[in-house]
Chain A
């Protein structure tokens, strides 16, 4: 324990002892005065014991609280939480939890009933730009359609060429362009 921690504990103990002494003094003041007789020492001890025993609950609580207030922070300050957590087997801990049992205790209908679905839907729709989505999807459909038409036309070109070339006994066509400067 550090010097600071020791000091705090000492202070707490002193405060507690003070509280005990104060309680004793109060009890003594409330008791009626007795003449001193032989064996009074023992009786004083007995009285102190009784005083301690009859110490008010409030005083004891205050004393305990004073000790706790001083000691606990000092102890907590000394604890290495990371080291503590490293010793904990989280997997084992989690495996001991019965999730289904926990879920059984949850009333989903009531939970859902508490949610303002209309407001939630409204908020979700506000966050979505429907116009842009429709525009994008429309453009995409148009592009895909156009592309499909072009490809079909290309295939039809090839098919027609093959049909025409068959009786003419041709082996394909010269569809590539001549390089620049060699065009006839």
Chain B
């Protein structure tokens, strides 16, 4: 996909703002919910094979929290650590990179996911930050950039210009 407008073309590789990031996060939340429901259905189906009763819920309260945390960490950690993109970021054409534009190491992606899990409102700082950086970005020296993919041309390349 090629950016067709000069605005999109000119912003490739630049730090994204809060609206794009929140929109991507909203999509990720929906995808996460769907994955959670699917996982519940699979587990319930397997359990029904042995008990004969289809019960789509996690009966143990002690398990619910850790499983949800694990799912969120795996989802964001895998997406950011692998290529800096979750499904939400793919949809909005965003990518998480290091401050110099290089790929995020897998471990840092996982830590970033943990930081968002601990303090999600930290993302709001990107509305105020001069560099559109969230609190997590500042701690881990990461950035979220507009990157519509290799076909966009010139995307995700570090630039030395100021908007």
Let me know if A39 is at the binding interface, CB within 8 A. Answer: no
Contact with B along A163-184 (1 / 0, CB 8 A): 0100010101111111111111
Q: Tell me, in angstroms, the Cα distance from A177 to B103 when the chains sit together.
A: 13
Given contacts A173-B132, A175-B132, A176-B14, contact A150 B100 (CB under 8 A): no
Whether the pair A157, B100 counts as a contact (CB closer than 8 A) is no
Residues of A within 8 A of B160 (CB): 176, 178-179
Stretch of B3-11, B39-47, B70-78 with 4 or more beta carbons under 8 angstroms from chain A: B3-11
- CB-CB nearest in chain A for B24: A153
User: CA of A164 to CA of B124 in the docked complex: distance in angstroms?
Assistant: 12
Is the C-beta of B113 less than 8 angstroms from some C-beta in chain A? no
Interface size class on chain B is 35 or more
Chain B binding surface SS class: loop
Q: Tell me, in angstroms, the Cα distance from A87 to B88 when the chains sit together.
A: 76
Contact A170 B158, CB 8 Å, known A177-B15, A178-B100, A183-B100 = no
Per-residue interface assignment for chain A, residues 20 to 58, with 1 indicating a CB less than 8 Å from any chain B CB and 0 otherwise: 000000000000000000000000000000000000000
Q: Measured between C-beta atoms, what is the minimum distance from A160 to chain B in Å?
A: 6
Question: Which residue among B17, B92, B97, B158 has the maximum number of chain A CB atoms within 10 Å of its CB?
Answer: B17
Q: Is the CB of A154 within 8 A of B8?
A: yes
Contact partner of B99 (CB less than 8 A), chosen from A154, A164, A177, is A177
Of the stretches B28-36, B79-87, B140-148, the one at the interface is B140-148
Contact B99 A184 (CB under 8 A): yes
Task: List chain A residues, Cβ under 8 A from B162.
Answer: 172, 174-176
Interface residues of A in 141-171 (CB under 8 A from B): 143, 146-147, 149-151, 153-158, 160-161, 164, 168, 170
Q: Which residue of B lies closest to A170 (CB)?
A: B130
Chain A interface bracket (under 10, 10 to 19, 20 to 34, 35 or more): 20 to 34
Asked if A158 and B14 make an inter-chain contact with CB atoms under 8 angstroms apart, the answer reads: no
Q: Which chain A positions have C-beta within 8 A of B23? A: 149, 153
Binding site for B on A (CB under 8 A): 143, 146-147, 149-151, 153-158, 160-161, 164, 168, 170, 172-184
What are 25 pairs between A and B in contact, CB < 8 Å? A146-B1, A146-B91, A147-B1, A147-B3, A149-B92, A150-B8, A150-B92, A151-B7, A154-B8, A157-B18, A157-B20, A158-B17, A160-B19, A161-B127, A172-B162, A174-B162, A174-B163, A175-B132, A176-B158, A177-B15, A177-B100, A179-B160, A180-B102, A180-B158, A183-B98
Could you tell me which B residues sit within 8 Å of A by CB distance? 1, 3-5, 7-8, 11, 13-20, 23, 91-93, 97-102, 127-128, 130-132, 141, 143, 145-146, 148, 158-163
